[in-house]
Amino acid sequence: MKNLIKKIMSHSSLINRPPVLLDIGASGRLFSEWELIASYSICVAFDADTRDFSVIESENKGWKKLFSLNRLVTDKTADKMEFYLTSSPHCSSSLPPNNEAIKQWAFSRLFDVEKIVQLPAIDLQSALSQIGIDYIDWYKTDSQGTDLRIYDSLHEIVKDNILTAEFEPGIIDAYLGEDKLHHLMAYMDNQPFWVSSMKIKGSQRINQIEMSSLNFLQKGSLGSFLKTSPGWCEITYINSLKSDNFSCREYLLAWAFSSIKGEWGFALEVARAGELKFQEPLFRELRQFSLKSSSSTSGYIIAAAKAAKKIILILIGRKL
């Protein structure tokens, strides 16, 4: 697929308008799924916790252009906003942790507030304008409780033209006044997207009093003997491309993004529609690759099913 990605990114429609990939809450490593398209793309990464984030504006680091910005991004601009620095940088938020609710969970110590700082806050649309960006192709956010409100603050035309959108909303009450999974899904039901994947993540339901009664080995292998309950969700939405406003560029990127996500059926649909709509020969090549990949995937599933059936028959035979 690497050669096809290169052909797509070399297309005339993308030369002066490269993909823009946006990551809010980029504490830690940047998104691994972007590695295949990074060198052709502009990455805009935000995080307000400097303990695990570099402030960089460069053309290096494997990107066509990288903006790594230590800025508190919210749904509205403010001269000062409280930001809660927690024990884990990945749990820091502009929302206060819900201490009463979170103390019932094994990972509650990660939310212990070490310091409250006053930071200037900027809304996402204004932040993008300041660096000369007026569109987003792949949107990814983990803002610790404010994913929906930040996304909703974008201009409608920007939101409608996003091709892939990823969020990490909570399920349990981790922060006071947070945007939760059910809020996000209700909102996205009215947007031109479909759900590609949902990965439920979580922790063990055990409070700190009971945790203190465990020995060292038990604490170190908590997940081995206690059930992990849902706590938050990594959810991916893909644009349905129902609008007539999408150009050849967006169809090419939609195929690339869907293929990276392993959505070969939708990639096939996009390639066929792109070929009919734009008469671009590249779409035929993309469609052929999607067909081959779909067949390969199906082949693996069929082979696995046959192998499982064979094992079952062997086991039944032994019992008989």
Using one digit for the tens of pLDDT, what is the confidence trace for 257-294?
999 999 999 999 999 999 999 999 999 999 999 999 87
pLDDT score, position 60: 59
**Cα–Cα distance measured from residue 292 to residue 298, given in angstroms and rounded to the nearest whole number:** 10
pLDDT score, position 69: 81
pLDDT score, position 276: 96
Across-strand partners of 227? none
pLDDT score, position 54: 46
**Cα–Cα distance measured from residue 159 to residue 137, given in angstroms and rounded to the nearest whole number:** 9
* 118 membership: H or E segment, kind and range: strand 113-123
pLDDT score, position 225: 77
Confidence of residue 125 (pLDDT cuts 50, 70, 90): very high
Taking alpha carbons only, the member of 67, 174, 81, 186 closest to residue 123 is 81
* H helices, E strands: number in the chain: 13, 11
pLDDT score, position 57: 57
227 secondary structure, DSSP code: P
pLDDT score, position 274: 97
pLDDT score, position 232: 96
Confidence of residue 298 (pLDDT cuts 50, 70, 90): very low
Is residue 7 pLDDT above 80, yes or no?
yes
pLDDT score, position 27: 54
Confidence of residue 302 (pLDDT cuts 50, 70, 90): very low
Using one digit for the tens of pLDDT, what is the confidence trace for 134-188?
999 999 998 999 999 999 999 999 999 999 999 999 999 999 999 999 999 999 9
Q: Both tokens of residue 267?
A: 């990639």
Using one digit for the tens of pLDDT, what is the confidence trace for 61-112?
688 998 888 788 999 999 889 999 999 988 999 999 999 999 999 999 999 9
Mean pLDDT across the chain, nearest whole number?
A: 87
CA-CA-CA-CA torsion sign (157, 158, 159, 163): positive
Tell me whether strands 20-24 and 138-141 are parallel, antiparallel or unpaired.
parallel
Using one digit for the tens of pLDDT, what is the confidence trace for 192-240?
999 999 999 999 898 888 878 887 777 777 877 788 999 999 999 999 9
**Cα–Cα distance measured from residue 272 to residue 264, given in angstroms and rounded to the nearest whole number:** 12
**Contact residues for 10 (Cβ-Cβ < 8 A; gap 6+):** none
Confidence of residue 32 (pLDDT cuts 50, 70, 90): confident
Taking alpha carbons only, the member of 16, 14, 18, 15 closest to residue 41 is 18
